[in-house]
Amino acid sequence: MSTPRTTKRMILAECDPIRKFMRMADSILQMTDHVRRMVASPENRHIRCVTPAKTGVVVWTDSGAWASRLRFAVPALTGRLPKVNGFDASGPVTVRVLPDESAPVAAPSRAELSMSSAETIWACAAHIEDEKLAAALRRIASHASE
């Protein structure tokens, strides 16, 4: 009587792309853990993951502020990262921000032009010899809010 196989083993045995994907995911987890151990606290808590790049690796962090702080740790990482399951980390280390999907994205605010500013722009346009520039200024002045 044979021992039962787990679902994971059955799927991995049947599908080579899934096996490659699982190996890469495992490599990313191992490299992320390794980099977190190499970086001091509190910066290491803000490393979301470490992924391979064409040359070297990319350290993904959760905000721009932590990315700037992690950039100071990059020289200590360069050349010291191991090769994990074919994940070659011997090249340069880049730090990037991975945006939070749950954070609301604010719509860009539209600048408003007051009537007094529009009058000033209109007066400047009247004294400019370059007709294209004067026309552009008049177009800008026409967007004033009342």
Neighbours of 44 (CB within 10 A): 14
Which two tokens mark 62? 């959760």
Same domain, 45 and 68: yes
Same domain, 18 and 46: yes
Please provide the average confidence, as pLDDT, over all residues in the chain.
Answer: 80
Residue 146 in any domain: the answer is: yes
Same domain, 18 and 83: yes
Same domain, 49 and 84: yes
Residue 51 in any domain: the answer is: yes
Average pLDDT over residues 118-137: 92
List C-alpha distances in Å: 25 to 8, 65, 124.
14, 27, 61
Same domain, 124 and 64: no
Q: pLDDT higher for 27 or 15?
A: 27
Q: pLDDT higher for 117 or 21?
A: 117
CA pseudo-torsion sign 67, 70, 72, 78: negative
Neighbours of 37 (CB within 10 A): 8
Average pLDDT over residues 22-49: 83
Residue 130 in any domain: the answer is: yes
Same domain, 67 and 43: yes
CA pseudo-torsion sign 94, 97, 101, 107: negative
Same domain, 43 and 80: yes
CA pseudo-torsion sign 89, 93, 99, 102: positive
CA nearest to 33, candidates 69, 72, 85:
85
Residue 128 belongs to domain spanning: 108-146
Residue 137 in any domain: the answer is: yes
Residue 1 in any domain: the answer is: no
Query: What is the band of 133 on the pLDDT scale with cuts at 50, 70, 90?
Result: very high
Same domain, 83 and 140: no
